[in-house]
Amino acid sequence: MAKTDKSNASTGKGLGAKLAGMTDTNLLLTITIAVFFLLYIGAMVFLRSGFLKPQTFFNILNANAALIILACGMSLVMITGGIDISVGGVTALVSMCCAVYLDYKGGNVFMAAVIAILIGLAFGAFQGALVAYLDIQPFIVTLAGMFFARGMTTIVNTSPFNVENEAFVALKMTRVNVPGLGSVNKLGKYVPAYVEIGVLVALLVVIVMFVMLRWMKLGRNFYAVGGNKQSALMLGINVKRTKFLSHLICGLLAGIGGFVYFLHVGSGSPSHASGAEMDAIASSIIGGTMLTGGVGNVLGTFFGVLSLNTIQNIVSSVGFDEAWWTGITKAVMLCLFLVVQSVVMSVRKKRNAAN
Amino acid sequence: MANSEKTSGAGFLKNLVRNQCFIPVAALLLLAVFNLIADPSFFRITLGYNSAGNPVLSGFIIDIINNGSELAILAIGMTLVTAASGGQDISVGAAIAIAGSVVLRVLCGGNARPETLQAPIIVAFLVACVVAMLFGAFNGVLVAYFKIQPMIATLILYTAGRSIAAWINNNELPVISDPKFAYFGGFIPGIPIPTPCFIAIACMVVIGIVLKVTNLRLYTQAVGINQSSSKLNGLNPEMIKVLAFVILGLCVAVAGLIKVSRVSSINYSVIAKDIEMDAILAVALGGNALSGGKFNMASSIIGAFVIQCLTTTLYKFGVSSTALPAYKAVVVILLVVVSAPTVREYFNKITQKMKLSKEVA
């Protein structure tokens, strides 16, 4: 199949043939990135108002740094052929534990981050072990994980509260200015564009995951196991360990994402990050990851998160700002992407069969 | 003679353990025994009178049967969907919100506080059925024709459902004052048993007859076990998958009617929250493979009551409703670990080894 694709590309004329010559992962990635730029440029041209300011873009990043990290972990698990719906619950649990630790126990920020990562790793390791070594369906295991995390959050503390730890508030308020992209406000004063610390963490996560999935042996193992377990086994890949690692890394990222979320909102609450797991799954899918496994890319996931939130911004700035439009917009977008993916894939399959 | 009796006893035990209903029934018995030891008053049923002066039965057992009705009804549809498509519908909670919202919308006719019902209840229910079945068909088409994994396809409705429900009623919270509407989720005057039980039993009887008379069970299982071979045998696997989702839609409409009738109103973000998880757990607890294929309807329904029994037991021990999921999760993990094939194999090996060592001795 790869051979015919290549010959197609070399003899191909124009864009269509080039698209046909891409691997599944790259094709879906291209679609996602194209859609994101179309959306954003369209918004800049037709809506002008906020979208012309670079800060609008950075605000989307600021608000969704945690989601980017969660979605990266989700993509990894989905590439390996599993699913992890506990990430939202873990995020809430991490926020609550860190909040209680910082405010009631008077801990320092560094230890809070360590606690966050440990909680994430614990969830990842336990779920991974059940999925990989006991062969239990990942959906059920992580569903229980989600229930457990949500329940534990209220057991740790029932009521939401803001954290007033000084060191933490200072870190929360830290802004990293982006040179050259500021804007002049109404008073004629120059306001620099900024991102929060969490965005830097998120970008780092995306880069590390991208490098790992593309160029490292471990990363290719994930694709192999997700694509075809049987042949991965025959290639001598330790399938169980690979599955375990995918859940472990997802748990780790859920811990980090939870801390970044906590850093953004600065409070602990049982209702934090409700539905984050579904947003993460939706972003991964929009980013071209397929739940069947073996196809996907964290770069696509990154753009998936951005697309999802850009369209929400567009919808609310057009005037549909009632709460329910957010849900409906998200669903329509997801539906569209799923159908496009499904159609593109079936067309390619037919073409490959014809070749 | 004693020896032969022993072996037949062992054979009986083996058959019992192999029966699919064994796990949910055993779990139910375990919970019952636990409650009996902890506090026998769990089983007390008292006859009292409600605010309208009608005789009503109350007690934890009645609570379980009453509140478990919606779950049991959903478990019916979820079992079929799981068997046919090898995936689960995670949108049932959101779909219940839509169905409930439709019922209220038709009954209120746009006015949030109507003095009288604007339409007969049966009409409202039928409209809700049609709407819920349409949404079911939407899920089914995505799954069957676009070949999207069921969990992901239903994620769409899961995300949008509660928003659509709010949109149907213009984000108002209609309240029905007509006492007749409350019969479906409460008590019919003169009958002390809660109405949802009757509705649930009716659903069970209907699905029992359908499975007995029609080829639904055979076709669903054939599609679930091997889609392409069922196609070669002249079945239309796509249609059967859509049908399973439509049947689930019907179950959702019934559950939605009960849910809104219980409170005579609706809260879009709270109604039937997390019920999809309970319904999936009921199917899994019933020993049905979540990857599709063979199914056992009775054990799914028993599974639903096990979940409800667990919930009620936890409530009784003073667990707050927000902390409830943590305890439920522990129980679920224990159950799935015990019933995991690898763990079972391991235990089988141990028992065989013990037998061998006995024979040698």
Beta bridge partners, A191, equal A183
User: What string of pLDDT tens digits covers the 355 residues of chain A?
Assistant: 344 444 444 444 456 666 666 677 777 788 888 888 888 888 877 776 677 777 888 888 888 999 999 999 999 999 998 889 899 999 999 999 999 988 887 778 888 899 999 999 999 999 999 999 988 888 888 888 988 998 899 888 888 888 888 888 888 888 887 776 667 666 777 777 788 888 999 999 999 999 998 888 888 899 999 888 888 888 888 999 999 999 999 999 999 999 999 989 888 888 888 778 888 988 998 888 887 778 888 888 999 999 888 888 888 777 766 667 777 888 888 888 888 878 877 887 787 777 7
Residue B96 pLDDT: 95
Q: Smallest CA–CA separation between B195 and chain A, in Å?
A: 30
Is the interface score ipTM higher than 0.90?
A: no
Structure tokens at B353: 């080894």
**Amino acid, single-letter form, for residue A190:** Y
The answer to whether residue A291 neighbours chain B at the CB level (below 8 Å) is yes
The answer to whether residue B218 neighbours chain A at the CB level (below 8 Å) is no
Q: Residues of chain B whose pLDDT is less than 50?
A: 1-5
Minimal Cα distance from B171: which residue of A?
Answer: A324
Burial of B233 (0-12, 13-18, 19+ CB in 10 A): exposed
Residue B18 pLDDT: 67
Residue A261 pLDDT: 92
Which ranges in chain A belong to alpha helices (H)?
2-11, 14-20, 24-46, 54-79, 87-103, 109-133, 138-156, 166-173, 197-215, 217-227, 229-234, 239-265, 276-286, 298-318, 323-354
Q: How far apart are CA B176 and CA A287, in angstroms?
A: 45
Q: How far apart are CA A214 and CA A220, in angstroms?
A: 7
Q: Cβ contacts (< 8 Å) between B81 and chain A: which residues?
A: none
Considering CB atoms only, which of B148, B167, B326 is closest to A148?
Answer: B326
Considering CB atoms only, which of A130, A148, A346 is closest to B330?
Answer: A148
Beta bridge partners, A267, equal A162
Q: How far apart are CA B44 and CA B62, in angstroms?
A: 10
Q: Smallest CA–CA separation between A147 and chain B, in Å?
A: 5
Residue B346 pLDDT: 83
User: A150, B325: Cβ pair inside 8 Å?
Assistant: yes
The answer to whether residue A326 neighbours chain B at the CB level (below 8 Å) is yes
Closest CA to B282 of B298, B302, B255: B302
Looking only at the bridges linking them, the beta strands covering A190-196 and A175-184 are: antiparallel
Q: Smallest CA–CA separation between A187 and chain B, in Å?
A: 40
Residue B10 pLDDT: 63
User: A158, B320: Cβ pair inside 8 Å?
Assistant: yes
Mutate one of A274, A333, A338 to test the B interface: name it (highest B CB count within 10 A): A338
Q: How far apart are CA A82 and CA A243, in angstroms?
A: 8
Question: Whole-prediction pTM value?
Answer: 0.82
Q: Please list, residue by residue across B299-331, b when 16 or more beta carbons sit within 10 angstroms of its beta carbon and e when fewer do.
A: bbbbbbbbbbbbbbbbeeeebeeebbbbbbbeb
Residue B135 pLDDT: 95
User: B159, A325: Cβ pair inside 8 Å?
Assistant: no
Question: What CA–CA distances, in Å, run from A35 to A38, A41, A244, A335?
Answer: 5, 10, 34, 14
